[in-house]
Amino acid sequence: MNRSEIVAHVVRGPIVESKHHGHLAVVDHRGHVKYAVGQPDVFTFIRSTAKPLQAISVVESGAARGLAQQQIALLCASHGGEPGHTEAAHAILASLGLTAEALTCGAHEPFHAPTAAAMRARGECPTALHNNCSGKHAGMLALAAMYEADIGSYASPNHPVQLQMRKTVADMCEFPEDRLALGTDGCGVPVFGMPLDRLARAYARFGQPDDLGSSRVKAINLIKDAICNYPYFIAGTGRFDTKLIEVTQGRIIGKMGAEGVFALTCPDANLGLAVKIEDGSERALYPVVMEALIQLDMLKAAEIAELQAFHTPKVTNWKGTEVGAILPQFQLRQYAP
C-alpha cells in the first residue's frame, strides 16, 4: 500500500490552494533507516540522482583519466546548458576524438533562461551539448572507448557500458540487480527503479565509502572532490544542487532527479536522504529537502538564511507581486519497521 503523506502546502492568501504528497527516507551508511515520512521503501525510478553513482563506473575503470575536475563533476550533472557546461562536455568528447554528433541524448534548450534567450536572439539552435545529460553521456562514451566497445550503441540496455553501470548502481544501493526495474530515461538511456530507502542507502555509502574496497573508495573520493571544488558543473547558476554545495562548502552533496526525486549525502553525519514527491512536482521538492535538513540539524543558521528562497519559495503573479508561498508540512519521525 502506498502510504504517502502531505509534505508541502501551496498557499495563496488565506487558503491552502494545493497539497503535495511524498515520501522521505533517512538512512545511515550501514543501511539502517533512521527517520521516515510516508513509505520509505516506496518503489520509484531514481532518475538523475543515479548520475553520481553511474559516474563511479567511469572513474573506477580509468576512463576518466586525464579529465579535469570540472569535467568529472559534469559526469554527474543535470546542468543548465550554460557556456561553461557545454565547453566542458565538448572537451570530454574532444579527448575521445569525438564530436557532439556522437551523443544520443537529443537536444533541448538550456535550462539556464539567460543562455536560452541569448541563443534565440542569435538564431542559434541548441545541440546535444546543451542537453542537461550531455556530461553523463560523454562519460558513457569514454567508458565505451575504454572497453573498446561499439560507440554507436552505447545507450542500449545490453551494451557493456550500461551493464556495468547497472551493476555499480545495484552494488551501491545493495539491491539485487535482477530486481531493479528498468525503464528509459528522458535522455534515452536505462533508468533504474528501486525502493527509495535503497537510494538513500547508496548516498550514505557515497558519503562514507571506506568499506567499499580501495579502487571504489578512490573513485568516489575523486568524484566528491570534483563536485565540491566545482559545484557549478553539477547544476549551474541559481540552481539548488549547486547552491547547497556552495553554501555548505561541500559538507552536503545533493542531486535532483526528474519527477520529484532528490538524494543527498552528509558524510559528517553518516547519513543519506532520499525524497520522492508523489506527483513529480519540482516546486515542492526543494522546500521539502530544506525542511528535512533543518529538522536533522544539518544546516547552520547562516546557511538556512542563505538558502531561504528554496525553503519557502514565494508564489507570485504575472506582475511579480508576492501572493503566496510553498510551505513544507511534515515531521520526520524515527523509523520503526
Residue 4, number of CB atoms within 10 A of its CB: 18
Cβ pair 82, 115 in contact under 8 A:
yes
The Cα–Cα gap between 21 and 81 comes to: 31
Number of domains within the chain: 1
Per-residue pLDDT of the chain (337 residues; tens, 9 = 90+): 469 999 999 999 999 999 999 999 999 988 999 999 999 999 999 999 999 999 999 999 999 999 999 999 999 999 999 999 999 999 999 999 999 999 999 999 999 999 999 999 999 999 999 999 999 999 999 999 999 999 999 999 999 999 999 999 999 999 999 999 999 999 999 999 999 999 999 999 999 998 899 999 999 999 999 999 999 999 999 999 999 999 999 999 999 999 999 999 999 999 999 999 999 999 999 999 999 999 999 999 999 999 999 999 999 999 999 999 999 999 999 998 7
Q: Residue 318 corresponds to which cell in the numbers above?
A: 504575472
Pairing of strands 271-277, 15-28: antiparallel
Domain housing 225: 5-334
CATH number of domain containing 19: 3.40.710
Provide the whole-model pTM: 0.96
Which residue type does 186 have?
G
Angle between the N-to-C axes of helices 51-61 and 214-229, in degrees from 0 to 180, rounded to the nearest 10:
120
User: What is the Cα–Cα distance from 20 to 9, expressed in whole angstroms?
Assistant: 6
Q: Tell me, what's the pLDDT at 1?
A: 47
Q: What are the CB-based long-range contacts (under 8 Å, 24+) for 92-95?
A: 92/67, 92/135, 92/138, 92/139, 92/141, 92/142, 93/138, 93/141, 95/66, 95/67, 95/142
Residue 57: per-residue pLDDT: 98
- Is residue 139 a contact partner of residue 92, using CB atoms and an 8 Å limit? yes
Burial class (CB in 10 A: 0-12, 13-18, 19+), 326: buried
pLDDT of res. 2: 60
Tell me the three cell numbers of residue 124. Answer: 542559434
